[in-house]
A and B are shown apart, each in its own frame.
Chain A
Amino acid sequence: MMSFLSYFINGVSLGSVYAIIALGYTMVYGIAKMLNFAHGDIIMVGGFTVFTIVSTMGGSPVAGVLASIVVCTVLGVTIEKVAYRPLRDASPLAVLITAIGVSYLLQNVALLIFGSNARQFTSVVTLPPLKLAGGELSISSVTIVTILSCIVIMIALTLFINRTKVGQAMLAVSEDRGAATLMGINVNGTIAVTFAIGSALAAVAGVLLCSAYPSLTPYTGSMPGIKAFVAAVFGGIGSIPGAMIGGILLGIIENLAKAYISSQLSDAIVFSVLILVLLVRPTGILGRKISEKV
C-alpha cells in the first residue's frame, strides 16, 4: 500500500511537470492555432541556463531559476516574432515545419555549446525529504515543490486569464481573431504575451524536471515535450483545465505502468490510453465539440 502511494505521489509530481509544459502548448495552440514543436526545447534551454548559472558560475539557485525564466521568455518571444509571425496566415503545415526547424536549431546550438555528453544537474531544491507514516513513506522535497508550484501556477493563470484585461484579450483572440481585431485588441501583442507566458512556464518546468531527473542533454526536452503535447491533447487541446487534468493523469498512468506492468512498455501504455480516450471523446476530456456548418 505504501509503495502504491509512493508511486502515485511520484506520478502526480511527474504529471505536474507535464501539466506545466502542456499549459504552454495548449495556450499557444488555443490562440495561434499552431503546434509549437519547439516548446520542448525551451525546457532544455531553461535547464541549461540554470546549470550554467548554478554549476558553472556558482550562482545561487534562486538567481538561476529567475535567469532561466528571463532567458526562456525572451527566447520564446523572439522565436515567435522572427519565425512564426511572418507565417501567421500561411498554411498550418508551413508553420509546423518552421517550428520543427526551430526545434532542430535550439538542439544543435545547445549541442555546439554544451556537447552531447549528459551533464549532472544539481537539484535547486535542497530540503530534506518529508517522512510520513513513521518513516515508511518518504516524499522527496522536489516532489512536493513540483506539486505545489503546479497548483500555484494553475491558480495564478486562471486568475490572470479571468481577471485581467490581457487575459480577456487572450480569450477573445482564441475565440475569433478577426472579431478581436475589430474590437481593437492588439492581436500581435496578445499572441506575444501568450508565447512569453508559455515559455516562462517551460523554464519552470525545465528546472523542476531536471531537479527530479538530474541528467541534462540537448535532447532532454524533446520526449517530455511530446508527452506534454499528448497530455494537452488528452485533456482537450486549447483548454487550460484540460491541460492540467491531462498532464496529471498522464504522469500517474506512466508511473503506475512503470511500476506494475513494464518499465519498457510504459510509453506504449501511455500512448495507447491516449488513443483509447480520443476514440471515445474525439476532442479530448474537456475539449469543446466543434459542430460543422455547411
Chain B
Amino acid sequence: MTMPGCMGGWRWGVAHTLMAIFLVVMALSFLSVIRLELVVNGLLIGLIMAVGAIGLSLVYGILKFANIAQGDFMTLGAYMCLFLLGTLFPRMNIQGTGLGPFTFGYPMLLALPLVMVVLATLAIGLDIGVYRRLRGRGVSTVVLAMTSLGVAIALRGAVQVLWGGETEQYPRLSRQFYQAPMDVRIPPDGIFIGLVTVTLVVALYLFLSRTRMGKAMRATSDNEELARVSGINTERVIWWTWAIGAALAATAGILLAVFQAQLLPIMGWRVLIPLFAAVILGGIGNPFGALVGALIIGVTSEVSTEWLSPSYKPAVAFLLMIATLLVRPTGIFGVKS
C-alpha cells in the first residue's frame, strides 16, 4: 500500500505553484480588483495555518489517519504558553512586553520552545497510552480517527477546566501597524510569524532531506511494510512524527493567539476545517504541499471578505476543499495511488 502523496518531488511543483499564485495575486491587486492588504493578511494567516497543517499532514502520511485532535493541540499549546507568560514566568520574575517591534516580550522566546517540547512529550505519551495499543489490535484507521475525536474533546475540556471558557490574552503592548505602500498595513507581530514559520519550514526540510530519521520518516510514509523489512523501527518513527506534529501544533496555536491577540478554548476546533482543507489541497502526507495549501486557503478566505461576510471564511475553506475533492482528490502535489 503506497500513500498517495509523498514528500519528494515537491521542489519544482511547490516553486512553480507559489510563483504562479504570486503573479496572479499581484496582477489582481495592481488592477485594484482586490485590496493588497487582504492578501497580506491572508498570507499571514496562511503561514500560521501552514505550521499546524504541516504537522497534521506528517501525522496523516505516516499514521494514515486524520488526527482530529490537531486543532485542540493548538489550543492546548496556546494556553500552556499563557500559563508560562501570565503565571509561572512572572513569579520567577521573568516578564516583559514590547520586545523590539513586537507586542510580546522576551519571555515569549523562552516559552515557545518550552511549550513545543512539553506538547511533543504529551503527544508521545498519548501514543503510548492510547494509539499504540489500538495499532497493536490492528484496528482500522477510521477507528483511530474516531479515537482522536475523543482526545480532541478531552483536550478542550481540560483546557476549559484549567483556564475557564473566557477570552484570554498574552501580556502585550499595543503597537502601531507598519504603513506599507498601496494602503497595506502590516502588524509588527506579522514579522515574527514570518520568521518563525520560515525557520521551522527550513528546519523541517533539512531534517527530512538530510537526516537518517527524516529519511526514515519519508520512507515509512511511502510504504510502512517495506520500511520495517528494511530494518526501520517504525514505532520510533511514529514517535518522532507525533513529537514534530505536536510541536508544530503548539507553535501554530501560539502564533494564532499572538496574531488574533486573544485566546479562546474553541480556537483550535475552529481552524480544523482550514487545516484539513490545506492538507487535502496540498496532497495528504506532503508537508510542503500543506504549506502551499495553507497559503492558498489563507489568501482565498481573506480575499473573499471583499464580497462575503468575514464569518464565512471557514465555509470558503470548506468549499475549496470540496472543489479539490471533485477535481483532483489527490491534491495539487499528490501522486495517484
Instruction: Report if A and B associate in a common complex.
Output: no
